[in-house]
Structure 1
Amino acid sequence: MSDQLAGRRVLITGGARGLGAGMASAMAAAGASVMLADVLKDVGEQAAAEIPGARFVELDVTDDAQWEAAVAHTVTALGGLDVLVNNAGIEVTSLLVDTEPDDVRRMLEINVLGTMLGLKHAFRAMRPGGAAGHGGSVINISSVAATIAFPAIAGYSATKSGVDRLTRVAAMESGKLGYGVRVNCLYPGLVPTDMGVKLAVETSALGLFESPDAAVGAVVELTPSGRLAEVSDIADAAVFLASDASRFVNGVGLPVDGGMGM
């Protein structure tokens, strides 16, 4: 327990499970009031019930009107909004020769458009004159996939590279327009959440590795720290970017990948 985020009001997308739920737990433990947002209503409500003081709002991050409603609900329920974590995302494993346009469009909608809409509504709420109006911090979740060449994730890598660019442009816009909102992103390494396990299984099924364990071993081999990432590794970095300890950190991508993407 700490008071790093005491008094902060936080909205986390994709908060029902995996990294989102882990970041929510860490921020609540650091003193923040947390709103989980997800399309998975039942799972999200259960996750919120397990985090002291947390709440849940249903949100499809590709829907502009739902974003507006979710941010307004958060401001009302928590008494403001200081931090947005744009965590919601999907990954579809595919070789380039087997690219399905609909899969790529879906990743673009959730990973890129969803992040842009989050920035839109966070800025509107946090800037002077907005419903929250005191500035704040936006943390976008990119991926080590944006910095390495790993097979069968071209579409995902492209969208996560887009998140990196969005972060830097958004930080500049916020600064130039006097919004008082810092914008940074994290590059998580491979975490053995449902999404991470799915990637190992699917890349081995494509014949790229002998087995899911071999796929994991290949990732570890590329990682100087010699292990996969843990949810707590990413969550602690998110707490840092949400806190005053990072008050002069803006417009950057922070690798939390054990050196994999160096």
Structure 2
Amino acid sequence: MVTKGRVEGKVVLVTGAAHGLGKADAEALSREGARVIVADIDEGEAQRVADTLPAAMALRLDVTCEAQWQAALEAIMEAHGRLDALVNNAGIAVFETVEQSSLEAFRRVMAVSAEGTFLGCKTCLPALAASGAGSIVNIASVAAIRGNPAVFAYSAAKGAILSMTRSLIVHCQQQDYPVRANVVLPGSHDTQMVREAYRFAPSELREAAQKHEGRPEHVADLALFLVSDESIRLNGAEIVIDNGRSVK
């Protein structure tokens, strides 16, 4: 039975939370009682989002910078004394094929999406374990499991998130850490990144994607479930949310 206050009192850090899916995640978690940390490199917009949510705080966080991750965790522990969940949402896309992509662009996408997820897991794991029932939600993409030539680096980064999460889970089990981790693989949802991607897609692919397109709130509802104790036995799930498009 689903009730209100599904994550009441939980302290949850959401990265890339100033816009798009991350913003929707922060709003859904806050609505259900979480004390949300709205983290983003866009500090001004992160603060504006936090100002609309009860018991939320904003942090500037460049997810590629280990020192900023450490500072963020220190600020969270000072403010709340605990961290119950981490939603690694931050990511960027460059719309280039393997032949078009420069090494610089590839490394930048990998740094934000893959290295950012790594640093989040590494930095926050001790605090999540100390909470007694930590949850990590890593946001990947259907691009990790479907061939999409237009986002070569993005696909590689999101694929890395799947492998990192599997390794992380086994590590936590071997260390007897009470932390579980799951991956969300969204398809097309109505965000600025997706709208930008449509500019580079052939018309038939764009029309197919739009036919199955969802709202950011759909992904946020799944992230909320994975943070909540309703999913306490879910560990290692890789959940595609694309209205069935990836199975065709």
Scaled by the length of structure 2, the TM-score of the pair is 0.94
CA apart distance, 1:215? 4.4
Query: Which residue, 73, 85, 102 being the options, matches 2:87?
Result: 85
Contact 2:36 2:57 (8 Å CA) reproduced:
yes
Query: Which residue, 109, 115, 134 being the options, matches 2:132?
Result: 134
Contact 1:12 1:85 (8 Å CA) reproduced:
yes
Query: Which residue, 34, 38, 41 being the options, matches 2:40?
Result: 38
User: How far apart in 2 are the matches of 1:248 and 1:95?
Assistant: 39
Aligned to 2:243: 258
Aligned to 1:53: 55
Contact 1:9 1:79 (8 Å CA) reproduced:
no
Give the counterpart letter for 2:235 in structure 1: N
User: How far apart in 2 are the matches of 1:119 and 1:191?
Assistant: 25
Aligned to 1:21: 23
Contact 2:188 2:212 (8 Å CA) reproduced:
no
Aligned to 2:110: 108
Equivalences, count: 245
CA apart distance, 1:256? 1.2
User: How far apart in 2 are the matches of 1:189 and 1:74?
Assistant: 31
Where has structure 1 moved over 6 Å in runs of 4 or more?
Answer: none
5+ unaligned residues in a row in structure 2: which ranges? none
**What secondary structure is seen at the aligned counterpart in 2 of 1:137?**
strand
5+ unaligned residues in a row in structure 1: which ranges? 221-225
Aligned to 1:223: none
Give the counterpart letter for 1:34 in structure 2: V
Correspondence list, 1:1-262, <5 A: 2-128=4-130, 133-201=131-199, 203-204=200-201, 209-210=202-203, 215-220=205-210, 226-262=211-247
Scaled by the length of structure 1, the TM-score of the pair is 0.90
1:121-162 deviation digits (Å, cap 9, x = unpaired) = 11122224xxxx424100000001111112311111111011
CA apart distance, 1:192? 1.8
User: CA RMSD, aligned part only?
Assistant: 1.4
Contact 2:18 2:42 (8 Å CA) reproduced:
yes
Give the counterpart letter for 2:214 in structure 1: A
Contact 1:9 1:81 (8 Å CA) reproduced:
yes
Give the counterpart letter for 1:51 in structure 2: L
Contact 1:146 1:161 (8 Å CA) reproduced:
yes
User: How far apart in 2 are the matches of 1:216 and 1:53?
Assistant: 39
Give the counterpart letter for 2:61 in structure 1: L
User: How far apart in 2 are the matches of 1:260 and 1:148?
Assistant: 10
User: How far apart in 2 are the matches of 1:47 and 1:56?
Assistant: 8
Contact 1:5 1:242 (8 Å CA) reproduced:
yes
Give the counterpart letter for 2:224 in structure 1: V
User: How far apart in 1 are the matches of 2:132 and 2:76?
Assistant: 15
